[in-house]
Amino acid sequence: MFRRTLMTATAAMALAVAGLGAASAQETIRLGAAAPQSGPLAGGAAVTHWPAVRLWVQQTNAAGGLQLASGKALIELVEYDDQTNPQQAIQAAQRLATQDQVDFMVAPYSTGLNLAAAPIFAQLGYPQITGTAVTNQQPELAAQFPNMFFLLGRTGVMAEDTAKVLVDLREAGSIGNRVALVNVADAFGIEMAGISKAVLEGAGFEIVYQSSYPLGTQDLAPIIDGAKSAEADAFIAWSYPGDTFALTDQAIVQGFAPSVFFTAVATAFPAYAGRFGEQIEGVLGMGGVNADDPAFQAFSAAHTELAGQGPDFWASAATYATLEVLGQAIEAVGSADRAAVLAHLQDRANSYETILGPVDFNENNDNERYWTVGQWQNGVFRGVSARGRDGAVDVQLFDGWN
Amino acid sequence: MNAQEIGKVIPWALLLLAAAFVPVVFSPYWLSMATTMAMFVVLATSWALFSGPTHYISLATAAFFGVGTFVTGLGFQTLPFWMLPLIAAALGGILAALVGMVTLRLSGVYFVIFTLGLAELVRQLVTWVQNQTGQRGMYVLTSITERDIYWMLLGLAALVYLAGWLIGRSKLGFALRIIGNDETVARHVGIDTALAKVALFTIPGMAAAAVGAILAPRYIYIEPSTAFAPLLSFQVVIMALLGGTGRLWGPLAGVIPFTLLWEFITRQAPNQTLLLLGIVFLLIVYVLPGGFVGLWARIRRRFHQGGGA
Amino acid sequence: MFILITGLLLGGTYALIALGLNLQYGVARIMNLANGELLVAGGFAAFWAYTAAQVSPVAALVLVAPIAFAVNWLIYRIMLQPLVSRAKSRGALEVDSILATFGMSFALVGIMTALFGGGYFNYAYLAQPVDIFGSSYAQNRLVAFVLAALIGLGLWLWLSYTRAGLRLRALAVNPASARLVGIDTRAASAQAFALGGAITAVGGALISMFFTLDASVGILFTMKALIIVIMGGVGDIRGTIVAAMILGICETAVARLIDPGLTLAAAYVLFLGILLFRPQGLFGKKPT
């Protein structure tokens, strides 16, 4: 009932935008999307995933659709809420493919949901280009699911680059040797902290305070107090949105200002700057973008117009880029022939132009170019460390909460 | 087993046989749904085996389920897969027996909250151990297909029904019915109520752990927050109560319409799924007191009255 | 000292989360699984008042409390009273109220997502430090603590020394006897439920000063509240407050002295331990 009306409305709007001039036998491509609209990850998906997906569909349709051999084809988006539940993610992928018979699917949101849905994508031959899965298992995953592509990055690389920022600062004589390392105790936090610890210790840093806290904890005064008492020069937190805010808040309250303050997921969210304003100048976080790139700025403006909020400075653009890649593969093939599009994606010789810059895939279906560390500088979260991407700016030293 | 009992068992056996052909006859979409149903049938039926006669509401399903997924997550590379559900069931049974021994003297709501706390406690401990050992997120990459999972769950469901049927015939079942009606009476006639309850509580523990072990390859990525998700415990309770716990088939009658309804709503109103689910849920509570078993009882009563008049 | 004060502040937060549920469950006999969603709704109201109209969360309580009272009164009258009337036993009511309020929590999450979107909500109000005994604490947490103490004290005085309070206490002890001594149990239950809801929403408004909320986060609060209520003893305000404080201090001590990763585990161990040795809760009376 709801969906029917919604879909007709979108389609009608799209047609009106496209101009009805050439609308004799207009082809449409059905694109399915299932991601959290409720449940624990709904907050993140509402910032990063949904606006980017809807924006791409809107912009593509406004431009008349995708150029196929037979003419232009509009995109029709079919959305489902997977309730942040792997069972529902599986069921939704299955439903999109076999009941709604969509031509293509947007990859789900988050590592866990992407992996849960991966067998369905693989069995039914749908390309799964992920913009929100961070893992270190690309080789194993690509072997098992040859239709799965990765745009966001590898956990190992993320941890290494974060450590490298510290090494560089230490070599420049800006910081000392003492690091406080904390993490949210779930798969992501544990994995990141594990790699981080090994890399940092390998680089001769001393971990003076290490702890984890349960998922969903927002009472983090003891952690900041612990890190402060340990007199750490650098504070690294592999955190999730709620606790990223809470850690920053507590650090400000307790006046804990080490030379490096790093929090992970949600540091790149516009809401982070919204909450803390100018106080966060110099805070480091996971991800980043080339904020000076006109392509990103145009994306940001359009995103703000559509969603009433800006994109995050990391995975929003990656999510959007996954659809750009898909769209370009479809146009290159010239039809919505899924097998051909998948074959095109699997051909490592092909590359794609996205708002992230050029994207191509290695033998593990991994686009080895990504942003790893960013920093709030003058109200913008700029990438300061990247693999294979231009535009990284220099790290500035964090000089306390203004 | 007398002739009347055989007559009762045969339709069920046929139903089971028919269910086994679902993956062959229907599309993968329906198989996915059937797998979800089979999972909840096992969980809700085994839950009702304990909670039906004792009136204890257990929210510990997620604890046992999570333990099961972790058994698979840790063991699938070193052990043959068929052993994992067995190990999980054994662990689940032991955990349930331990918990049962200390908690089953609590009554009513204290037991409810205790079991809820237990699931969270186990999850926190597992997470903490993972964190201490630097254990990474587990990737259960296997060649097990959804079809295999479905059949395994179906087999497990058959076992649960068999257990339920045997208990119903046994002295234990008799004892439990008395406990449910009046625990004091039960104690006076010489029934070891504590032992009976503990014995029964191990059944949902074993079943839920085995389900977790079987389903781990379907989730692929095992992390505590999804393996021990408290929502699962609530869903099981809701489905079992929707069906009704008085009969062995009650939970089945709850799971199937519930799963179909859930799917229907998700499909028709993707942006208002939760709101509509909530409303439908409330309607069910008001329109169907006592679940489908209650409805069935009322229909039969009316039919008999009509016949008599 | 840091541990004690941080623990007390956290305990204040927990008291705000759990006091309302104690009234709803202890007096009105509704195990309200939608408690957390109502708390988040209170938080959203405060967020909205602060960002749209620059009204401080504390001032917003003047509006939040009566509106929440009215909404919860209606919820009880329309949705829960039929269940209470038809329930043959306490157990039957428990089952029905679990089912109904679970459905309600879904519906509320759906409504909040539709109204506010699924994103994160927070704002900076009194997020400055205040120094006590040489350590810094957040002002907003201190304000929340003071208000929690006032609410707890006010509620206790009201329950202990007024006729209306006496009615509720009688109801909490035994609904059947309460009816015999001429108490309109329906009206009193509705009152208790609505008051509980109002307190929960006020708690949400205060907590939103320092918690990042989103539409789906309510279940976490519900679980915490259930545990505190049961730990303290159903139907006793003092128990809830003491339990909240013990939990707050215990969690903080574990976080600071042992390992923050074990805070929740410690809380559950404490809870399970209390339940085993005093199944009726710290202040509860043995069921007769």
* Model pLDDT for residues B267-307, shown as the tens digit of each residue: 888 778 888 888 887 887 788 777 777 788 888 888 877 54
The pLDDT value given to residue A148 = 93
- Amino acid (1-letter code) at residue A12: A
Co-location of A281 and A314 in the same domain: no
Indicate whether C285 pLDDT > 70: no
The pLDDT value given to residue A298 = 92
The residue written with tokens 């990763």 in the block is C261
Question: For residue A64, what is the domain's CATH number?
Answer: 3.40.50.2300
Please check whether residue A85 is in contact with residue B231, taking contact to mean a CB–CB distance below 8 angstroms. Answer: yes
CB atoms within 10 A of CB B83: 14
A90 touches chain B (CB under 8 A): yes
Please check whether residue B172 is in contact with residue B196, taking contact to mean a CB–CB distance below 8 angstroms. Answer: yes
The pLDDT value given to residue B135 = 62
C120 touches chain B (CB under 8 A): no
d(CA A156, CA A148): 19
Of the two residues B119 and A306, the one the predictor is more confident about is A306
For C150-192, give the secondary structure using H, E and C. Answer: HHHHHHHHHHHHCHHHHHHHHHHHCHHHHHHCCCCHHHHHHHH
Q: Give the residue from A208, A209, A220, A227 showing the smallest Cα distance to A245.
A: A220
Highest mean pLDDT, choosing among C10-19, C124-133, C272-281: C10-19
Candidates C268, C271, C274: best to mutate against B (most CBs of B within 10 A) is: C268
Helix and strand counts by DSSP (H, E) for chain A: 14, 15
By the 10 Å C-beta count (0-12 exposed, 13-18 middle, 19+ buried), B271 is classed as: middle
A94: left (phi over 0), alpha (psi -120 to 50) or beta: alpha
Co-location of A320 and A342 in the same domain: yes
The beta-carbon neighbor of B127 closest among A80, A98, A185 is: A185
d(CA B280, CA C107): 9
Of the two residues B91 and C285, the one the predictor is more confident about is B91
* C residues 199..238 contacting B (CB < 8 A): 219, 223, 226-227, 230, 234
Co-location of A337 and A324 in the same domain: yes
Give me the sign of the Cα torsion angle A233, A241, A220, C150: positive
d(CA B171, CA A402): 74
Indicate whether A8 pLDDT > 70: no
By the 10 Å C-beta count (0-12 exposed, 13-18 middle, 19+ buried), C263 is classed as: buried
Q: Summarize the confidence of residues A100-125 as an average pLDDT.
A: 91
Co-location of A207 and A59 in the same domain: no
Work out the mean pLDDT of chain A and round it to a whole number.
87
Closest Cα in chain B, distance from residue C247 (Å): 14
A165, A176, A262, A358, C166 from A397: Cα distances, Å: 11, 13, 12, 31, 62
CB atoms within 10 A of CB A101: 10
Residues of C in contact with B231 (CB under 8 A): 219
Closest Cα in chain A, distance from residue B234 (Å): 14
CA atoms within 13 A of residue A11's CA, in its CB half-sphere: 17
Candidates A186, A195, A207: best to mutate against B (most CBs of B within 10 A) is: A186
Of the two residues B230 and C148, the one the predictor is more confident about is C148
Please check whether residue A385 is in contact with residue A373, taking contact to mean a CB–CB distance below 8 angstroms. Answer: yes
Q: Which residue of C has its CA nearest to A273?
A: C123
Residues of B in contact with A38 (CB under 8 A): 273-274
* B residues 32..61 contacting A (CB < 8 A): 32-33, 36, 39
Please check whether residue C184 is in contact with residue C14, taking contact to mean a CB–CB distance below 8 angstroms. Answer: no
Co-location of A285 and A238 in the same domain: yes
The pLDDT value given to residue A1 = 40
Of A267-281, B121-135, C223-237, C240-254, the poorest mean pLDDT is in: B121-135
Q: Summarize the confidence of residues A350-354 as an average pLDDT.
A: 92
Domain with A192 in it:
155-289+372-387
CA atoms within 13 A of residue A120's CA, in its CB half-sphere: 31
Residues of A in contact with B270 (CB under 8 A): 2-3, 37, 78-81
In three-state secondary structure terms, C28 is coil
Q: Which residue of C has its CA nearest to B107?
A: C279
* C residues 46..85 contacting B (CB < 8 A): 79, 82-83
The pLDDT value given to residue A39 = 82
Q: With respect to residue A142, please indicate whether it lies within any of the assigned structural domains.
A: yes
Co-location of A118 and A239 in the same domain: no
C287 touches chain B (CB under 8 A): yes
Residues of C in contact with B242 (CB under 8 A): 99
The residue written with tokens 């004690």 in the block is C4
In three-state secondary structure terms, B180 is helix
A86, B231: Cβ pair inside 8 Å? no
Percentage of the residues of chain A whose pLDDT score is greater than 70: 94
Q: Give the residue from B102, B11, B308, A280 showing the smallest Cα distance to C272.
A: B102
Number of domains in chain A: 2
Indicate whether A19 pLDDT > 80: no
CB atoms within 10 A of CB B269: 19
Per-residue pLDDT of chain B (309 residues; tens, 9 = 90+): 567 777 777 888 888 888 888 888 888 888 888 999 999 999 999 999 888 887 788 888 999 999 999 999 888 888 888 889 999 999 999 999 988 887 766 666 677 777 888 888 888 888 888 777 766 667 888 888 888 899 999 999 999 998 888 888 887 777 777 766 666 776 676 667 778 888 888 999 999 999 999 998 888 888 787 888 888 888 898 888 888 877 888 888 889 988 898 888 888 887 788 888 888 878 877 887 777 777 888 888 888 775 444
The residue written with tokens 């690091």 in the block is A179
Q: With respect to residue A303, please indicate whether it lies within any of the assigned structural domains.
A: yes
In three-state secondary structure terms, B175 is helix
The pLDDT value given to residue C283 = 74
Q: With respect to residue A224, please indicate whether it lies within any of the assigned structural domains.
A: yes
The pLDDT value given to residue C92 = 76
Q: Give the residue from B261, B264, B262, B257 showing the smallest Cα distance to B295.
A: B257
In three-state secondary structure terms, A207 is strand
d(CA A107, CA B110): 43
The beta-carbon neighbor of A137 closest among B130, B139, B223 is: B139
Q: Which residue of C has its CA nearest to B132?
A: C261
The pLDDT value given to residue B107 = 66
Closest Cα in chain A, distance from residue B220 (Å): 6
A7, A220, C8, C101 from A253: Cα distances, Å: 48, 11, 17, 38
Of A150-164, B243-257, C196-210, the poorest mean pLDDT is in: B243-257
Closest Cα in chain C, distance from residue A373 (Å): 23
Give me the sign of the Cα torsion angle C269, C272, C274, C276: negative
B225, A116: Cβ pair inside 8 Å? no
Q: Which residues pair with A285 in a beta bridge?
A: A263, A374
Q: Which chains, if any, share at least 3 CB pairs under 8 A with chain B?
A: A, C
Please check whether residue C229 is in contact with residue B82, taking contact to mean a CB–CB distance below 8 angstroms. Answer: no
d(CA A112, CA A44): 14
In three-state secondary structure terms, A206 is strand
Co-location of A281 and A179 in the same domain: yes
Indicate whether A15 pLDDT > 50: no
Co-location of A105 and A184 in the same domain: no
Closest Cα in chain C, distance from residue A197 (Å): 17
Candidates B264, B266, B279: best to mutate against A (most CBs of A within 10 A) is: B266
Residues of B in contact with C111 (CB under 8 A): 275
Co-location of A42 and A103 in the same domain: yes
- Of all residues in chain C, what percent are helix, strand and coil, respectively (each to 5)? 75, 5, 20
How much is the ipTM here?
Answer: 0.84
Closest Cα in chain B, distance from residue A277 (Å): 32
B277, C106: Cβ pair inside 8 Å? yes
A38, B27: Cβ pair inside 8 Å? no
C282 touches chain B (CB under 8 A): no
d(CA B166, CA B164): 5
Closest Cα in chain C, distance from residue B262 (Å): 12
Indicate whether A293 pLDDT > 70: yes
Please check whether residue B248 is in contact with residue A104, taking contact to mean a CB–CB distance below 8 angstroms. Answer: no
The pLDDT value given to residue B137 = 60
Q: With respect to residue A188, please indicate whether it lies within any of the assigned structural domains.
A: yes
Co-location of A367 and A383 in the same domain: no
The band of A400, judged by pLDDT with boundaries at 50, 70 and 90, is confident
Strands across the sheet containing A104-106: A66-68, A71-81, A27-35, A104-106
Q: With respect to residue A14, please indicate whether it lies within any of the assigned structural domains.
A: no
Q: Which residue of A has its CA nearest to B220?
A: A116
Please check whether residue C252 is in contact with residue C262, taking contact to mean a CB–CB distance below 8 angstroms. Answer: no
Q: Summarize the confidence of residues C172-180 as an average pLDDT.
A: 81
Q: Which tokens is B157 given?
A: 């469901």
In three-state secondary structure terms, A312 is coil
The beta-carbon neighbor of A37 closest among B29, B128, B271 is: B271
Please check whether residue C121 is in contact with residue C45, taking contact to mean a CB–CB distance below 8 angstroms. Answer: no
Question: Dihedrals φ, ψ of C121, to 5°?
Answer: -125, 125
B128, A83: Cβ pair inside 8 Å? no
- Amino acid (1-letter code) at residue A125: G
Co-location of A247 and A214 in the same domain: yes
Q: With respect to residue A68, please indicate whether it lies within any of the assigned structural domains.
A: yes
Co-location of A204 and A241 in the same domain: yes
Indicate whether A5 pLDDT > 60: no
Residues of B in contact with A191 (CB under 8 A): 136-137
d(CA B165, CA B6): 12
Terminal Cα-to-Cα distance of chain A (whole angstroms): 52
A222, C255: Cβ pair inside 8 Å? yes
Q: Which residue of B has its CA nearest to A81?
A: B270
Q: With respect to residue A394, please indicate whether it lies within any of the assigned structural domains.
A: no
Residues of A in contact with C252 (CB under 8 A): 219, 221-222
C261, B128: Cβ pair inside 8 Å? yes
Residues of B in contact with A80 (CB under 8 A): 266-267, 270, 273
Residues of A in contact with B37 (CB under 8 A): none
Please check whether residue B212 is in contact with residue B62, taking contact to mean a CB–CB distance below 8 angstroms. Answer: no
The band of C286, judged by pLDDT with boundaries at 50, 70 and 90, is low
A196 touches chain B (CB under 8 A): no
Closest Cα in chain B, distance from residue C159 (Å): 24
Indicate whether A12 pLDDT > 70: no
